Structure 1
Amino acid sequence: MTFRDLGVDGDIADALATKNILEPFPIQEQTIPLGLSGQDIIGQAKTGTGKTFGFGLPVIQRLGLEPGPGVQALIVVPTRELAVQVTEDMELATSNRSTTVVSIYGGKAYEGQIEQIKAGAQIVVGTPGRLLDLAGQRLLSLANVREMVLDEADKMLDLGFLADIEKLFSQTPATRHTMLFSATMPGPIVALARRFMNRPVHIRASDPDEGLTQANIKHVIYRAHALDKDEVVARILQAEGRGKTVIFTRTKRAAAKLVEELNDRGFNAAAVHGDLSQEQRERAMAAFKAGKKDILIATDVAARGIDVDDVTHVINHTIPDDPDTYLHRAGRTGRAGKTGIAVTFVDWDDLHKWALINRALDFGQPEPTETYSSSPHLYTDLGIPEGTRGRLASARPVSAPSSRANESSSSSSGAGAEGGDRARRSRSRRRTGGSAVSTGAETGHAPAAEAQQAHAEHTPGSGTHDGTGAPRPRRRRRRGPRATPPTA
């Protein structure tokens, strides 16, 4: 079956064909014909099942070949990364039409988003907070919205956006066409659908790779030591056939630390996590998709926008908390029928989490294999060439302490060097309780000269020069009444 068979216009199908998107996924086969007819839809599907085109193509086609200016379609998503991903897919599908798409989300300047709205963009993809913000300033009108989509509704419920969603619904016409998508259907989402949708059809679609997960993805589970993980990762990254790789960490700090470590070892890595600005995250994601960076380090929230078909390896630097998160992470590889490898590190303290995932997903491996960077099975399991080490030949060499000291000594000149020497001597005194104990390698001065200087500074009765060549006597504290000067 092709998209044309589902009733999709030829110009839209041709636009998808430029990216080799030729055959619809199961959820697209079910939702597109109903969406084109104007039927309200509740789609129950996981991330990565192709639901974006399932709701996106009907929205685009129902707006017409040349829609008039002004917001006529609203697609609400829970995260910035998903907003960017959905926008990219919608821009691809509309590339042969005059329809324009704008992303509206926080963490980015208002001006560019407002300009696109004023220019007449017909489709808005956005997060609830920024949408309500612009609507409250009367910069975004939803009064003419004919098509509304709520994507990943359960995630928005988790993030506390349900009240915001209700406000957005209330600002749109009651006669709109509505589609809601969610991986699960908790009670509040069901209530929301009943309140704002008109006799919706419930469609439950399985993951296109579901049932093929074990065949398409090789799952490797290691019990690794925290201090050895980075070395193991660096060797895995040199495995034969290794392409784009996504590495998941539990925290933002761990992601930032790992990207610095891998770049220092000579690898081409980028990171997406909450401590980066939205612009930095978008640049990192764009570089990864374009192949300029072949390693992406991400936290779970930031990874929701990763939709790349040619990821060969996923590495769980820290084990996910539950089976669903594990499947979401592993599902970044082995996409579109390709094979992939998912490597998971389990810390000693996290064995109970692996036991839960192992039971739920029926891996049949209750005990992860204890693994170090020197373990022979690491090389055979993952196709790592024998003799591989954790630093690329192109990486900058690690400087020896003496080399750094020599650099410091040779570069010390003028006032700047004098200030640096004073700072180093001050640090040395603090470490040794006030006495300047040092070595020539540390400060660039000979130990004897340093000792003489310290002696001169601390010997009673010694003075300092005032520039005239004569010593200036030290001022002494007087004790008791001031003495009367003798008379001549």
Structure 2
Amino acid sequence: MTFSDLGIEQDIVDALASKGITEPFPIQSQTIPMGLGKQDIIGQAKTGTGKTFGFGLPLIQALGPDPEPGVKALVVVPTRELCVQVAEDLVLATSNRNTKVAAIYGGKAYEGQIEELKAGAQIVVGTPGRLLDLASQRLLSLSDVQVMVLDEADKMLDLGFLADIEKLFAQTPATRHTMLFSATMPGPIVALARRFMNRPIHIRATDPDEGLTQANIKHVIYRAHNLDKDEVIGRILQAEGRGKTVIFTRTKRAAARLVEELNDRGFNAAAVHGDLGQEQRERAMAAFKAGKKDILIATDVAARGIDVNDVTHVINHTVPDDHDTYLHRAGRTGRAGKTGIAVTFVDWDDMHKWALINRALEMGVPEPVETYSSSPHLYTDLDIPEGTKGRLPGAHAPSVKDPSSRPPRQGGRSSSGDRPQRQRTDGPRKDSAEGGGTHDGAAPRRRRNRTRTRRPSTGGTPTA
């Protein structure tokens, strides 16, 4: 089946074909015809299965080849990274039309986004906070919206955006066409759909026999020691066939430390986390997508914005907090029908978390195998060449400096814990005749001449 068979107009089909996109995925095959018929849809499919074009192509076609200026379609996403990704996909699909797409999200200057709106952008992809901010300033009008889409609705719920979503719905016409897409469907999202959608059809594009985890992803779970993880990761990164790799850390500090460590080991890594400015995050993501960096270290803030089809490995530096987070992290690999590998390190203290994930996803690994960088099964499990070390051959080994070669510290203890020697500035030491000599090879003693001043008596002068 092709996109033309689904009813997509030829100029859009040609735009997709220019990037090698010719055959629709299952979620697209099921949602596009209904979307073209303006049926309200709840689309549920695992991450990485093509939901963006599932709602994007009907949305673009509904606006026509030359829509009038002004916001006619609104796509709401939970994170900045996903906002950029969805906007890029829609720009590709509209490349043969006069339709303009604007990405509206926080962390960037208002001026450029306001200019795009004033220039007549018809499709707006945005995060809830910035959308409401511009709407409150009367710089964004949603009164003419014909199509509204919620993408990754479950993540919006996790991030506490439910109230903001309701405010956005209230600013759009009741006659709009609404589509909601999500990997999971918790109760509050279902309730939201009932309130703001008109007799929606729930489409679930999964194989009932597939299980909860994607069949094209190999899941490897290790109980690992925190001090050995960097070495293990360095060896995994040299596995046969290893392509782009995403490493998830629990904290921003861990991400910053790990990117520095891997670069020191000779690898080409970039990081995306909350302590970086938006420009830095976008540059890192762009370098990863372009292949200039083949390792991306990220916190969960970026998990759903990493839509790169050739990610071969995902590594969880620490076990995720719950099974949904695990699925979304692992879903960065095995995208677009390709295979992938997801490796998870479980600390001894996090075994209770893994037990809950293992039970929820029915993975059958209640006791992860204890694994070190020297464990033989590490090499066989992940196809790592025998004898591989965690540092690339051309990388500089960390230097171990001789403590005696270090310059003396000022005002603190030396590396051996002794007090620093004080340097005289009033000429050479006294010789042995003046009491400054040595005794049995010991360091010369220093004579201290102290001058004491007595308190002056009444009417007198100080006496030295």
Q: Paired residue for 2:421?
A: 437
Q: Paired residue for 2:454?
A: 478
3-state DSSP class of the match of 2:411?
Answer: helix
Q: Paired residue for 1:444?
A: none
State how far apart, in whole Å, the 1-side matches of 2:365 and 2:197 are: 45
Q: Paired residue for 1:314?
A: 314
Are positions 1:460 and 2:461 aligned together?
no
Q: Paired residue for 1:37?
A: 37
State how far apart, in whole Å, the 1-side matches of 2:26 and 2:183 are: 15
Supply the AA of the counterpart residue of 2:448: T
What displacement does 1:128 show?
0.9
Query: Is the 8 Å Cα contact of residues 303 and 328 (structure 2) preserved in structure 1?
Result: no
Q: Deviations over 1:91-117 (max 9, x none)?
A: 111111111111111111111111111
Are positions 1:202 and 2:186 aligned together?
no
State how far apart, in whole Å, the 2-side matches of 1:458 and 1:391 are: 54
Query: Is the 8 Å Cα contact of residues 47 and 331 (structure 2) preserved in structure 1?
Result: no
Unaligned 5+ residue runs, structure 2? 424-428, 431-435, 437-442
What displacement does 1:68 show?
1.6
State how far apart, in whole Å, the 1-side matches of 2:240 and 2:370 are: 22
Query: Is the 8 Å Cα contact of residues 212 and 361 (structure 2) preserved in structure 1?
Result: no
3-state DSSP class of the match of 2:410?
Answer: helix
User: What does 1:83-482 correspond to in 2, within 5 Å?
Assistant: 83-206=83-206, 210=210, 215-402=215-402, 424-428=409-413, 436-437=420-421, 459-461=448-450, 476-481=452-457
3-state DSSP class of the match of 1:202?
Answer: strand
3-state DSSP class of the match of 2:412?
Answer: helix
State how far apart, in whole Å, the 1-side matches of 2:114 and 2:457 are: 79
State how far apart, in whole Å, the 1-side matches of 2:39 and 2:136 are: 30
State how far apart, in whole Å, the 1-side matches of 2:55 and 2:283 are: 27
What displacement does 1:396 show?
2.9
Name the count of aligned residue pairs: 447
What displacement does 1:251 show?
1.4
Query: Is the 8 Å Cα contact of residues 272 and 303 (structure 1) preserved in structure 2?
Result: no
Closer, same or farther in 2 for the Cα pair 1:483/1:330, shift >3 Å?
Answer: same
Q: Deviations over 1:122-148 (max 9, x none)?
A: 110001110111111111111221111
State how far apart, in whole Å, the 2-side matches of 1:485 and 1:319 are: 77
Query: Is the 8 Å Cα contact of residues 274 and 302 (structure 1) preserved in structure 2?
Result: no
State how far apart, in whole Å, the 2-side matches of 1:205 and 1:268 are: 37
Closer, same or farther in 2 for the Cα pair 1:382/1:185, shift >3 Å?
Answer: closer
State how far apart, in whole Å, the 2-side matches of 1:29 and 1:458 are: 93
3-state DSSP class of the match of 2:257?
Answer: helix
Supply the AA of the counterpart residue of 2:19: K
Closer, same or farther in 2 for the Cα pair 1:180/1:245, shift >3 Å?
Answer: same
Q: Deviations over 1:195-241 (max 9, x none)?
A: 32223222222279945957522222211111001011101111111
What displacement does 1:291 show?
0.5
State how far apart, in whole Å, the 1-side matches of 2:200 and 2:229 are: 49
Supply the AA of the counterpart residue of 2:401: P
Query: Percent identity of the aligned residues?
Result: 78
Q: Deviations over 1:337-356 (max 9, x none)?
A: 32222211111112222233
Q: Deviations over 1:366-399 (max 9, x none)?
A: 2212111112222222222222211112223423
Supply the AA of the counterpart residue of 1:342: A
Supply the AA of the counterpart residue of 1:426: G
Query: Is the 8 Å Cα contact of residues 319 and 354 (structure 1) preserved in structure 2?
Result: yes
Compute the TM-score of the two structures, normalised by the length of structure 2. 0.88
Supply the AA of the counterpart residue of 1:243: G
What displacement does 1:159 show?
2.0
Are positions 1:58 and 2:58 aligned together?
yes
Closer, same or farther in 2 for the Cα pair 1:389/1:209, shift >3 Å?
Answer: farther
3-state DSSP class of the match of 1:394?
Answer: coil
Q: Paired residue for 1:468?
A: none
What displacement does 1:432 show?
7.0
State how far apart, in whole Å, the 2-side matches of 1:457 and 1:134 are: 74
Q: Which moved more, 1:149-158 or 1:254-263?
A: 149-158
Query: Is the 8 Å Cα contact of residues 70 and 122 (structure 1) preserved in structure 2?
Result: yes
Q: Whose helix proportion is higher, 1 or 2?
A: 1
Supply the AA of the counterpart residue of 1:158: D
Q: Paired residue for 2:426?
A: none
State how far apart, in whole Å, the 2-side matches of 1:202 and 1:218 are: 29
Query: Is the 8 Å Cα contact of residues 246 and 295 (structure 2) preserved in structure 1?
Result: yes
Instruction: Give the alignment's Cα RMSD to 1 decimal.
Output: 3.0
Supply the AA of the counterpart residue of 1:459: R
Q: Which has the higher contact order (CA 8 A, sep 6+)?
A: 2
Query: Is the 8 Å Cα contact of residues 91 and 100 (structure 2) preserved in structure 1?
Result: yes
Compute the TM-score of the two structures, normalised by the length of structure 1. 0.84
3-state DSSP class of the match of 2:395?
Answer: coil
Supply the AA of the counterpart residue of 1:271: A
What displacement does 1:260 show?
0.9
What displacement does 1:429 show?
8.4
Query: Is the 8 Å Cα contact of residues 145 and 172 (structure 1) preserved in structure 2?
Result: yes
State how far apart, in whole Å, the 2-side matches of 1:269 and 1:133 are: 35
Query: Is the 8 Å Cα contact of residues 41 and 202 (structure 1) preserved in structure 2?
Result: yes
Closer, same or farther in 2 for the Cα pair 1:72/1:456, shift >3 Å?
Answer: farther
Closer, same or farther in 2 for the Cα pair 1:94/1:165, shift >3 Å?
Answer: same
